[in-house]
């Protein structure tokens, strides 16, 4: 069916995108950095435990809250973590833009606010953002 072929083509294009390549490269660098890896793992463990127990950040015990804030400070000052988060955010923007294009087509809105994103030009680099109507 043509839909599945197009979906596969889209998936292959996303997999081959420079944005995903940047995420993978940044992730490898971050995981090779022992301090970065340890900080991220501890942060994720605290996050996961809180989620499993249905606890919001505001409801964490003061000691854990302080540790989370300390870990966030460390993460924000670690170049490898910052680079990974930035690359991941850029790839997520591509996914949001693709989703917006799909949603607009499904809802019969055509290319109203994202027309320039789906055409060649400055948005062909993957920097398309449909918020605010156009490329960013």
42: Cα within 13 Å, side-chain hemisphere: 16
pLDDT at 131: 45
Residue 127: predicted pLDDT: 46
**Segments of the chain with pLDDT less than 50:** 112, 114-127, 129-136
pLDDT in tens, 109-131: 865 454 444 433 334 444 454 44
CA distances (Å), 78 to each of 18, 35, 98, 119, in order? 23, 9, 31, 37
pLDDT at 57: 87
Q: What is the pLDDT of residue 126?
A: 45
């Amino acid at each position: 069916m043509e839909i599945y072929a197009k979906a596969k083509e889209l998936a292959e294009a996303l997999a081959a995108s420079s944005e995903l390549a940047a995420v993978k490269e940044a992730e490898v660098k971050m995981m090779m950095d022992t301090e970065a890896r340890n900080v991220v793992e501890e942060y994720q463990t605290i996050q996961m435990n809180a989620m499993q127990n249905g606890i919001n950040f505001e409801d964490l015990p003061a000691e854990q809250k302080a540790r989370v804030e300390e870990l966030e400070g460390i993460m924000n000052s670690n170049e490898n973590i910052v680079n990974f988060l930035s690359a991941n955010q850029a790839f997520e923007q591509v996914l949001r833009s693709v989703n917006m294009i799909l949603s607009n087509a499904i809802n019969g809105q055509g290319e109203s606010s994202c027309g320039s994103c789906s055409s060649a030009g400055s948005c062909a680099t993957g920097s398309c953002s449909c918020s605010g109507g156009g490329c960013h």
